[in-house]
Amino acid sequence: MSAPLLAAKHIVKRFPGVVALRDVSFDLQPGEIHALCGENGAGKSTLIKLLSGIHPFGNFEGELQVEGQTVEFRGIADAERAGLAVIYQELALVDELTVAENIFLGAEPRRGWLIDWSRVRREARDLLDRFGVALDPDTPCRQLGVGQKQLVEIVKALRKNSRILILDEPTAALSEHEVQVLLTILRDLRSRGIASVYISHKLEEVFALADRITVVRDGATVFTAPAAETNKAEIIRHMVGRELGELFPRRQHLGLGRRDPLLRVQNLSVADPQTRQTRLTEISFEVAPGEVLGIGGLMGAGRTELLMHIFGAWGRRLSGRVELAGAELPPLPPAEVLRRGLALVSEDRRRYGLILDQSIAFNLSLSALRSLTKAGFIDASAESDHNHDLFRSLRVKAPNMDVPVGKLSGGNQQKVVLGKALMTGPKVVFLDEPTRGIDVGAKLELYELINRLTDHGQAVVLVSSELPELIGMSDRILMLHEGWITGEFSRAEATQELLMQAALGHHVEP
């Protein structure tokens, strides 16, 4: 076999406190479509950033080769020069510009000082025709659908004479028809000798398209096989296969006990306020006191939207009813929901959780200030008592509480966000990806905190992308797929294979 077009050899990438990639090796042959599969957080995105030069050479160990030559990408421009182009999930098109303008953005052909607009249009049309994309180059990108934008992105990459396309979850937001158009074009490109790395966890597409499949798990490539010689079951097994070990200290495992549920959700359907499309359909579940309900699903399944909606921070309710501690909870702003005893710890703590410039103390007491006042003024000593209690019991690692939270590590920031929620004395706590991006030690402490909450009879809803965490920490697990519940499992029934099938949209009855 000739030298591969692209090869990664024993790549190791460390972030402060975390090893994102432990050992990644794979290669891409000319004219091949090579699919990379793996769970959220397996290391796929880190790998792409490495290949595209965002994590420059020297920031990782191991070797990258293009056509047998070792390459040292110092930035995106180097990677592009070597013929690599990345089509990202979040598109990099300028909405206000036309298709042609976007295709030539940053490389406009000129005549003297001025842009040669007629050449821009002519060449854009040629490119679109050559790759069979039926779009008018003068259409503003604003008017295109997501799928059409994706095609424009691809044409833009091909304009740079890219020989290697890297597609990161390209079909995540596409309709079925758009998916088919995209697959056809990728196959056509393959026949012209352009190779693709296709990242997706939609196994149907992967098997419909790919020549070879590689599975990434926990930062390492664990399995590679030609698509014809493997099957979905085998791929799923490799995607999830790992030992749970003693990582998850969940003590209490209630069934749906005799006690009245603290939170009851019935036939909840919610629309996205911007697109007006239904994002959550007929969701029903209950959480009992002392119980941890896990909610799993792939990115975009609607988990965060579900929590944010019940908390009053997202979406327009189409139908359904929510009860909190026996009383109806109508759609209310977060301030009201919080007052009634429901707290939320968001998945994006820097955006939704913290006032980064302010101190630990400021953030801890922020949600509970109204209960800490005397005659309208903040009772400074009561406030500092409460803050100190939490600071100590959460074991936030900082010299004192005046340190701005922006300076803390991820795990300690997460403790502050959680502490803020706990100070309001909630009956139900929503935890959205509470352990994302934090180290193992801090994870364990968070799990212990979950145990303590449920020991006190509070209920926890835990959203997580990590199946082992979901199985390890939940008493019951719901799986969502595109806004529907596709499975409900007790802890005893749940296996990673079953959960993954439900996450991929197969209705599963345990």
Partner 1 sequence: MNNRLGALLAALLAVCLFFVFKVPGFGFVSARNLSLLMVDFSITATLAIGMLLVIIPGHIDLSAGSGVGLIGGISAVLMTNHGWPAGGAMLAGLGAAVVLWWAMGNLIVRERIPAFIITLGGLLVFRGLFWLVIESHTVPISVGGRSNLFAALTTYYLPPIAGYVLAGVIVAVFVFVSLRVRARRLQQGFAITDDEHTFFRLFIAAQLLFLFVIITNQFRGVPLPALILGTVAFSVWLLTQHTPWGRHLYAIGGNEEAALISGIPVERVTIGAFSLMGAIVALTGLMHTAYGGASTTTVGELMELDAVAACVIGGTSLKGGRGSVLGVLFGALIMACLINGLTLMAVPPEIKYIARGAVLIAAVWMDVKLGR
Q: Which residues bind partner 1 (CB under 8 A)?
A: 311, 313, 333-335, 337-339, 344, 346, 351-358, 362, 366-367, 369-370, 372-373, 376-378, 380-381, 384-385, 420, 424
Residue 215 Cα to chain centre, angstroms: 18
Which two structure tokens, joined as six digits, stand for 363? 């953030």
Q: Which is nearer to partner 1, 92 or 355 (CB)?
A: 355
Calpha distance 260→387 (Å, rounded): 32
What is the nearest approach in angstroms of partner 1 to the Cβ of residue 420?
Answer: 6
Where do we find the tokens 């690692």? 397
Q: Are 252 and 453 in contact (CB under 8 A)?
A: no
User: Residues 6 or more apart from 73 whose CB is under 8 A from it?
Assistant: 52, 53, 56, 57, 64, 79, 82
- At position 98, the amino acid (one-letter code) is T
What is the nearest approach in angstroms of partner 1 to the Cβ of residue 258?
Answer: 32
What is the nearest approach in angstroms of partner 1 to the Cβ of residue 345?
Answer: 9
What is the nearest approach in angstroms of partner 1 to the Cβ of residue 370?
Answer: 5
Our CA angle for 271, 276, 279, nearest 5°, is 35
Relative to beta strand 84-87, strand 61-66 is unpaired
Helix-, strand-, coil-residue percentages of the chain, each rounded to 5? 35, 25, 40
Q: Are 296 and 460 in contact (CB under 8 A)?
A: no
Which two structure tokens, joined as six digits, stand for 230? 């493997």
Q: Which is nearer to partner 1, 292 or 368 (CB)?
A: 368
What is the nearest approach in angstroms of partner 1 to the Cβ of residue 358?
Answer: 6
The CB density around residue 508, as the number of other CB atoms within 10 Å, is 19
Relative to beta strand 110-111, strand 61-66 is unpaired
What is the nearest approach in angstroms of partner 1 to the Cβ of residue 329?
Answer: 14
What is the nearest approach in angstroms of partner 1 to the Cβ of residue 383?
Answer: 10
What is the nearest approach in angstroms of partner 1 to the Cβ of residue 285?
Answer: 22
Relative to beta strand 6-15, strand 18-28 is antiparallel
| H helical segments located in 374-439 | 380-393, 410-422
